[in-house]
Amino acid sequence: MNNAKPLPHTPLPLVRLTEFEAAVFSCAIWAQSLGGLVFAFSLTLPSPAEALWRGFPAAQCQYPIEMPNPVGIAVSPTSDLQHELVFLHDLGYDAVEISPDGFDLIFCGRLQYPLVNDVVPVLERHGFRYSVHSPAALDLRDLRDRDLQMQMAESVVEFCRLIHAEVLVLHFEQQSADAAVETAFLDSVRRLADRAQNQRLRIGIENIEVERLAPVLDFVRRVDRPNVGLTFDVGHAFLAARYFGFDYLEAVRAARSPLIHLHVTDNFGRYDPLRLENFTLYRTQRTRDIFPVGRGDLHLPVGWGAIPYEETFAELRGYQGSVITEYRYNLFRAHARGLAEHLRSLVRRLAP
């Protein structure tokens, strides 16, 4: 039996400082008694990589900036999370989205604490704002394994607590024609929301390209919980609009009101029917199969596909919340810095 317990968890204090105050706070003050005091000020904050090399948590070596739209990225599964987070920090990202299944943290619905205890301290060492993406295997419409699915969902909420995640992303997926299944889904999300409310965690229901946006918005309304809103996935909406025949920018406007979390990638709006016919096979496709034909949810960097991002962000102007890119950055590492800068320039257009 695994009797491992989670590590004691003490949150880092968050102090909002101006740039000048942060610089002064980081000053090295040396006093000498030869005719008075001599103050030597070091006004340069260490980079995250330098801070880690010197043995200090980067979260304590960078001043947090109050910002309406933190720009973040979904971290790819890796055997060296520490190295990956330093890389993303040096690119200037403010936030990270992590999927517990990407790091094999859940076994049979329950957190595997020996592995969780490896990951949590690494995440705490950095000054990111965190969101959590629910596991791909989570299906709250699954009535046969409902207890296991609910246990998995509660484990994800607990993981959110351990890393101080602000948003948990749940896929809406495709509606069922069975009213009992849809009722169970609604009830499960409400139960999860009530539990999340105790830790001030918000749940963002994500639109998927297998369904129109309207049912997702209606579902968020029917959940009727103050901590439940919409995770709007721009790439999914663009694909769905082309496939189901609705107006994409109209959908963007409709998403603005319940929006609490934003996912951005790029694609060409060419729907892959295999996504509906055989999702397991769909996920086995390689980039050499899909990139040349530009089909499906390609997870390209913003600006590399056909999504009209300038018009999209104009419709979302005034949105306050994280903007998370989910592009396959390991395929484009040589361009990662320029892509991060391009995204930040677009995000600035969200300002009212």
105-114 pLDDT, tens digit each: 999 999 999 9
For residue range 227-238, what is the model confidence (pLDDT) as tens digits?
999 999 999 999
Q: Residue 261 pLDDT > 60, yes or no?
A: yes
pLDDT in tens, 18-45: 443 344 333 333 333 334 433 333 333 4
E strands along 54-101, which residues? 71-74, 95-98
| Angle between helix 81-90 and 113-124 (nearest 10) | 30
pLDDT in tens, 155-179: 999 999 999 999 999 999 999 999 9
Mean pLDDT over all residues of the chain?
Answer: 86
Read off the pLDDT of residues 236-257 as tens digits, 9 standing for 90 and up: 999 999 999 999 999 999 999 9
Q: Domain 64-350 carries which CATH code?
A: 3.20.20.150
Residue extents of the structural domains in the chain: 64-350
User: pTM for this one?
Assistant: 0.82
For residue 56, name the pLDDT band (cuts at 50, 70, 90): very low
**pLDDT of 67:** 72
pLDDT attached to residue 79:
87
Q: How far apart are CA 315 and CA 51, in angstroms?
A: 39
Here the tokens at position 216 are 């997702």
| pLDDT top residue among 137 and 6 | 137
Distances (CA, A) of 156 to 56, 148, 160, 209, 349: 29, 12, 6, 24, 33
- Give the range among 158-167, 187-196, 277-286 with minimum mean pLDDT: 277-286
d(CA 244, CA 242): 6
User: Using one digit for the tens of pLDDT, what is the confidence trace for 293-329?
Assistant: 999 999 999 999 999 999 999 999 999 999 999 999 9
